Amino acid sequence: MSAKVFAISNQKGGTGKTTLSMNFAAGLARRGRTLVVDADPQGSAGQWAGLASDERPFPVSVISLGGSLAREINRFREDYQYIVIDCPPTLETDVTRLALSVSDAVLIPVLPSPIDLWASIRIADAIEQAQMSNPKLEAFLVINQLEPRSALSRAMQQALAEFEIISLNNVLRRRAVYRTSAIEGASVYCMGKRGESAAQEIDAIIEEISQ
Partner 1 sequence: MNQNVASKLANSVRQAKETQVTDKAATAEKPVATAKSEEAPRPALLTSRRVWPD
Single residue of 42, 128, 155, 179 touching partner 1 by CB under 8 A? 155
Cβ proximity to partner 1, 24 vs 163, nearer residue:
163
Alpha-carbon distance of 55 to 62, in angstroms, equals 17
- Window of 10-18, 47-55, 76-84, 161-169 that interacts with partner 1 by CB under 8 A: 161-169
Q: What angle do CA 206, 208, 209 make, to 5 degrees?
A: 70
Single residue of 52, 63, 159, 206 touching partner 1 by CB under 8 A? 159
- 208 CB-side CA count, 13 A: 18
Residues 6+ apart with CB under 8 A from 117: 110, 159, 160
Closest by Cα among 211, 158, 201 to 16:
201
Single residue of 52, 70, 105, 152 touching partner 1 by CB under 8 A? 152
Binding residues for partner 1, total number by CB under 8 A: 15
Asked whether position 151 contacts partner 1 by CB under 8 A, the answer is yes
Q: Side by side, which strands form the sheet with 166-167?
A: 61-64, 34-38, 82-86, 4-8, 105-110, 138-143, 166-167
**Closest approach of Cβ 44 to partner 1, in Å?**
27
Cβ proximity to partner 1, 167 vs 181, nearer residue:
167
Cβ proximity to partner 1, 113 vs 180, nearer residue:
113
**Closest approach of Cβ 119 to partner 1, in Å?**
9
Q: Which residues ranging from 98 to 137 are in contact with partner 1 (CB under 8 A)?
A: 114, 117-118, 121-122
Cβ proximity to partner 1, 1 vs 151, nearer residue:
151
Asked whether position 176 contacts partner 1 by CB under 8 A, the answer is no
Cβ proximity to partner 1, 162 vs 196, nearer residue:
162
**DSSP 8-state symbol, 193:** G
| Residue 63 CB coordination number (10 Å) | 15
Single residue of 24, 163, 178, 189 touching partner 1 by CB under 8 A? 163
Bridge partner list, 6: 84, 105
Residues 6+ apart with CB under 8 A from 6: 24, 82, 83, 84, 85, 103, 104, 105, 106, 107
Alpha-carbon distance of 89 to 136, in angstroms, equals 23
Asked whether position 90 contacts partner 1 by CB under 8 A, the answer is no
* Residues found near partner 1 in the complex (CB under 8 A): 114, 117-118, 121-122, 151-152, 154-156, 158-159, 161-163
